[in-house]
């Protein structure tokens, strides 16, 4: 079984998600590796990185625990975060300590348990990205090492919101499930509150590494 001490390194800490969409001016593995180093300088406990090129580039510059994922749009499924065994295994081979994957109940191209087994066989851990409490229970039963609230608000049956899903965090904590708080944690106060809700650690992306998104928050506020 893979070594779980990497999770202990993350407990109580901040993971910074360094991602840039295809249309972003920051879409370059070198720039992503610089964002990762800036996050490290600021005290990040770990990093969440999308795509093989970016995982390779970031692995080369930092020893911080790395959560890897792919985002793949497919015609046959709405599942886009690490949809296949091959992608999950390759992320682990490239040096991701933890592989994040969609663990929602939406139809998927390959069984979740096969992805989990492949990641464990490659010596990495599994973060199951979920949108409901039921999905968290199922993913942990299938062998996921931790769940993350990443996909709340991004499935048709979870509540759409501009704020973090505090109710889901509360429910996960009451159920005694190990969880990561992720998604729309846009302020230091949000991150601290998530930790007080019982999160093992928190993941912040847009507010730290997407200046285009943050700029829009300001320009929209000015427009009133």
Ligand X SMILES: CC(=O)N[C@H](C=O)[C@@H](O)[C@H](O)[C@H](O)COP(=O)(O)O
Footprint of ligand X on this chain (CB under 6 A)? 17, 19, 48, 69, 150-151, 154, 182-185, 203-206
Work out how close the CB of 164 gets to ligand X at its nearest, in angstroms, rounded to a whole number.
8
Q: How far apart are CA 154 and CA 156, in angstroms?
A: 7
Our CB check for ligand X shows the closer of 1 and 160 to be: 160
Work out how close the CB of 85 gets to ligand X at its nearest, in angstroms, rounded to a whole number.
19
The residue nearest ligand X at its CB is 205
Work out how close the CB of 3 gets to ligand X at its nearest, in angstroms, rounded to a whole number.
23
Work out how close the CB of 196 gets to ligand X at its nearest, in angstroms, rounded to a whole number.
18
Asked whether the beta carbons of 108 and 127 are under 8 A apart, the reply is: no
Our CB check for ligand X shows the closer of 40 and 206 to be: 206
Give the pairing of strands 46-50 and 179-182: unpaired
Our CB check for ligand X shows the closer of 85 and 203 to be: 203
Helix or strand run (H / E) with residue 204: strand 201-204
- How many other CB atoms sit within 10 Å of the CB of residue 142? 17
- How many other CB atoms sit within 10 Å of the CB of residue 198? 16
């Amino acid at each position: 079984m893979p070594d779980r001490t990497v999770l202990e390194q993350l407990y109580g800490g901040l993971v910074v998600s360094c991602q840039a969409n295809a249309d972003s001016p920051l879409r370059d593995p070198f720039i992503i590796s610089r964002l990762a180093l800036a996050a490290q300088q600021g005290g990040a406990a770990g990093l969440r990185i999308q795509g093989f090129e970016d995982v390779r580039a970031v692995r080369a510059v930092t020893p911080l625990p790395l959560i890897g994922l792919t985002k793949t749009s497919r015609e046959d499924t709405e599942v886009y975060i690490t949809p296949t065994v091959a992608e999950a295994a390759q992320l682990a081979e490239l040096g991701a300590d933890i592989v994040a994957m969609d663990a929602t109940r939406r139809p998927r191209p390959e069984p979740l348990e096969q992805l989990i087994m492949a990641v464990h066989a490659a010596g990495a851990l599994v973060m199951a990205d979920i949108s409901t409490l039921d999905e968290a229970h199922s993913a942990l039963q299938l062998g996921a090492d931790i769940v993350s609230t990443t996909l709340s608000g991004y499935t048709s049956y979870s509540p759409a919101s501009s704020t973090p899903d505090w109710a889901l965090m509360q429910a996960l904590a009451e159920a005694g499930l190990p969880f990561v708080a992720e998604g729309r944690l846009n302020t230091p106060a949000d991150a601290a509150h998530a930790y007080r809700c019982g999160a093992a650690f928190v993941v912040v992306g847009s507010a730290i590494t997407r200046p285009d998104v943050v700029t829009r928050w300001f320009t929209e506020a000015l427009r009133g």
